[in-house]
Amino acid sequence: MAMRGAVLLALLAASTFSLASAASHATTNVFALDALVNRTSTLLSAVKLPPSLRSSIFEFVESLGEFSPDQIEAVLVEVRKRAIAPALRVAILLCLVMSVMLMLEAMYMSAVSLGVKLFHRTPEKRYRWEPIRGDEELGSLAYPMVLVQIPMYNEKEVYKLSIGAACALTWPPDRIIIQVLDDSTDPMIKNLVEQECRTWASKGINIAYEVRENRKGYKAGALKKGMEQTYAQQCDYVAIFDADFQPESDFLMRTIPFLMYNSRIALVQARWDFVNYSKCLMTRIQKISLDYHFKVEQESGSSSYAFFGFNGTAGVWRISAINEVGGWKDRTTVEDMDLAVRASLKGWKFLYVGDIKVRSELPSTFKAYRHQQHRWTCGAANLFRKMARDIVLAKEVSLLKKIHVIYSFFFVRRVVAPIVTFAFYCIVIPLSVVVPEVSIPIWGVVYIPTTITLLNAIRNPSSLHIMPFWILFENVMSMHRMKAALIGLLETASVNEWVVTQKLGDTLKEKMQTNAVESTRTSFVTDRVSFLQLGFAVFLMCCASYNVALGVNYYYVYIYLQAFAFVVMGFGYVGTFTTNS
């Protein structure tokens, strides 16, 4: 509600300045004043303000009718110069500082990851790796015990894919245990998953089906419960795959040796590959962002500090490392990052292996993607709040690594990035066109965002033609990410909200055909329309129109495009669409 109020008040400010300016040029100024009063009344009715403040604002606007248009314009210009312009200058300065921080971080990570690629600093060159060879005397005992965990929740569309892929992993049958952690609340789905496990068990696969009485702790709670099983405590390593992930059969053969021959490595993380990236424009845009995350962020962290955030799936952990740092914790919605940070503070190393890819599914509906991004962004910011002190006081890591974790990993990437993207490119720049007393240097408006975009494009050359859509899409998403980051930092009531990302598997086309007939106007509004985004689009339209009529620069080209993006996404015309039916 606070963000909605801020948007509406910004609309009021933009309307006031534009109407006041128009009043000085109009032949019949009373119409402009009437319009201002009417718009003020409409906006105030939509904002929850104290009655006294609401009354004061309305009385002030009504009193403007007692003055001539020139007097009104002079007063508003003076207010703009003395109050609005100084505040906006401070906002511009803060945004420019944060933009420089973000650009330098992106340049550093890109340089490191590019150096790894150019100098062929492969994981096999940095760490010992050799294939596991069978021993005639030891037999299968030459292979360590491996636990494969598959947490799932009502995964009707994909449960067979992940279970089938895990059961097909190349490893001695007596040295591997497949553990399906089913938190499903739908009895029919639970029966289907259990029956699938029995089918594989009848084929000689060592597979265990585990359920809980409640979903306490969500995914972290399920993983923790799974590790408490007697058979799990006999294992040396644990591989984790979400329900839509399908590892290749040689996954363990390629990852486990890094853990066997390097005693300080706690985690080996593989790269995600996407089976449905070509489904729609939104999935293609997601692929650009996630490819950058793995190729640049994970690679640079692994190469320079042997640290990065565990992605929660497609990775193998050393169980002794998990136990040493206290196991899984459910205090945030990013239990994977929580475990990784705690393990790093104990001196454990992480390794990212980009050559090993695990197929997975991208969220193809905007609602599912929005929930996923909220969980990731909010959880990371909240973890920063909870662990900042622990990081500073940690004794088993160097000062340089502490700075990297606090400044680069958390502050710049998890706090600054979502805030500056929305505040600067969607609020400050549009507002600057209606306040001529302020100006933004061209290096802040053009050079910095261009540099960051090019750094993304370099690692995604095949998606270069999509980059303009990626920019507009990411700016709209920054509204939701900034909100989530603030919720996490302030730890409000919805900080631990957990919505499982919907997976559609091979049933997407069937669902779309069925729901095309079943969808209703109610489901369209509740599932697709975002009035917050549409309201913000109106604000951008007002700023762009003012810039066209009275501005001195060409920001309106960008602002109109961004407003159009807010309208399109506000009406839900992005991604695929399936109803809840």
300 burial class (0-12, 13-18, 19+ CB within 10 angstroms)? Answer: buried
- Report the C-alpha gap between 410 and 459 in whole angstroms: 23
Q: Of 182, 183, 244, 291, which is the active-site residue? A: 183
Tokens describing residue 523: 């489901």
The DSSP-derived string for 172-232 is -GGGEEEEEEE----HHHHHHHHHHHHHHHTTT--EEEEE-SS-TTHHHHHHHHHHTSTTG
Cα four-point dihedral sign 547, 548, 554, 557: positive
Main-chain phi, psi angles of 436, to 5 degrees: -65, -15
The three-point CA angle 396-384-400 to 5° equals 40
- Counting Cα atoms < 13 Å in the Cβ hemisphere of 95 gives 26
Q: Of 182, 291, 336, 338, which is the active-site residue? A: 336
User: Residue 147 in contact with residue 237, Cβ under 8 Å?
Assistant: yes
Tokens describing residue 483: 């909100």
Sort residue 255 into left (φ over 0), alpha (ψ -120 to 50) or beta: alpha
- Report the C-alpha gap between 478 and 488 in whole angstroms: 15
Whether residue 135 lies in the annotated active site: no
- Report the C-alpha gap between 544 and 557 in whole angstroms: 8
Tokens describing residue 384: 């920063």
Whether residue 183 lies in the annotated active site: yes
173 burial class (0-12, 13-18, 19+ CB within 10 angstroms)? Answer: exposed
Distances (CA, A) of 511 to 156, 326, 416, 579, 581: 13, 42, 39, 9, 10
- Residues with a catalytic annotation lie at 183, 336
